[in-house]
Amino acid sequence: MADQEQKAIQLIAEAESKLKSAKGLFSSLFGGGSSKQEEACELYVRAANAFKMAKKWPQAGKAFEEAAHLQLAMGSKHEGATYYVDAGNCYRKGDPNAAVSAIHKAIEIYTDMGRFNIAAKHHITVAEIYESELVDTEKSMQNYEQAADYYKGEESNSSANKCLLKVAQFSAILEKYEKAIEIYEQVATSCMDNSLLKYSAKDHFFRASICHMCMDTENAVLAVKKYEEMFPAFGDSRECKLVKKLLETIKEENVDQFTSALQEYDSISRLDPFITNLLLKVKKQLNSEPELC
């Protein structure tokens, strides 16, 4: 590992030397600057890979960024963006903020080139960094939303919906229930028109129903009726029956029946943590018990 690090340091020194010579009068007069930049770029990439082998991630990221700068200076936007992404992947090993910065540089290049599908893909990477490493739900949501917009513009509706569902989930976590409901309904409606995705529509209507319950139980009753009319398969589902039963227990202010209904459902189909947390909020409105049984 130490050998690889020393090799990388030597390669960086060689690259810097090439760039200094490229600025000389002789190179400028006889057109040698461009070839020197190409050689320096190759050396930076080799150095970055050597740093990677030595697990020196910040140094590897910096070397890739230097390669990106040179590629852009030589007019190669695609290569420049690629190296910024490589830099971001290295920085992610220890400096998530630097990773976000590098990947955003790549995104700017891809959007300028009209490569919106690729830009969307990297917005998802940034969203994941904010979600898991930097724990910034708002910024994660913004990047998922931007990715969805780009996918929509490219008619990649399935990919857009996956991003929108993340936005809906985060919106609900942040108690922005109206936005979450709007997205769940939108995605559910689009799934109804697709024979392969039709079955998943009931899950989206279920989540929208739970969000309604977090806001207002009377509106939740009306929403469930609307969803049944829109998509009869939802009305026949266990999810819909659970929501109706929970709404009855809320109306009766019966916490025990609320808990029993959840236990009965959960014994057959496990509720995911996101739904469980939303239902915990509903239960707390009904009673001050600290957790679902």
Strands (E), the chain: none
CA triplet 177, 206, 291: central angle to 5 degrees? 70
**% of the chain beyond a pLDDT of 90:** 85
pLDDT (tens digit, 9 = 90+) per residue, 276-286?
999 999 998 88
What pLDDT, on the 0 to 100 scale, is given for residue 84? Answer: 98
What pLDDT, on the 0 to 100 scale, is given for residue 196? Answer: 81
pLDDT (tens digit, 9 = 90+) per residue, 53-90?
999 999 999 999 999 999 999 999 999 999 999 999 99
pLDDT (tens digit, 9 = 90+) per residue, 175-231?
999 999 999 999 999 998 887 888 899 999 999 999 999 999 999 999 999 999 999
Q: 292 by DSSP, 3-state: which?
A: coil
Beta carbons within 8 Å of 165's beta carbon, 6+ residues apart = 183, 184, 187, 204
In terms of Cα–Cα distance, which of 118, 121, 97 is closest to 109?
Answer: 118
pTM: 0.88
In terms of Cα–Cα distance, which of 122, 19, 114 is closest to 73?
Answer: 19
Measured distance CA(80)–CA(74) in Å, rounded: 9
What pLDDT, on the 0 to 100 scale, is given for residue 288? Answer: 56
Residue 26 above 70 pLDDT? no
Residue 28 above 60 pLDDT? no
In terms of Cα–Cα distance, which of 97, 98, 117 is closest to 107?
Answer: 117
For residue 75, what is the DSSP state?
T
CA 181 to chain centre: 19
Token pair belonging to 274: 């996101």
Q: What is the mean pLDDT of residues 239-254?
A: 94
Please, what sign has the CA dihedral across residues 71, 72, 73, 74? positive
Q: What is the mean pLDDT of residues 240-252?
A: 94
> What is the DSSP code string of 134-155?
S--HHHHHHHHHHHHHHHHHTT
In terms of Cα–Cα distance, which of 44, 114, 37 is closest to 84?
Answer: 44
Q: 62 by DSSP, 3-state: which?
A: helix
What pLDDT, on the 0 to 100 scale, is given for residue 225? Answer: 96
How many residues are recorded in the chain? 293
Please, what sign has the CA dihedral across residues 3, 5, 8, 13? negative
